[in-house]
Amino acid sequence: MQHSNSLADRAARAVQRARVSSDDLARSTPTRRHRHRGRLTRLAACLLGVDPADVVVIDDPNRSYGGYAGFVITVHDGDNVYRFTPDLGDDSTLHLLRPCRRCGHQVTTAVITSLIDLGRVLDGTGEQSLSSDQFTDDPAHADDCPSLRT
Among 22-26, 39-43, 128-132, the minimum mean pLDDT is found in 22-26
Q: How far is CA 115 from the centre of its chain?
A: 14
The percent of residues above 70 in pLDDT, for the chain, comes to 91
Confidence of residue 73 (pLDDT cuts 50, 70, 90): very high
Strands of the sheet with 94-99, listed across from one edge: 55-65, 68-77, 80-86, 94-99, 106-112
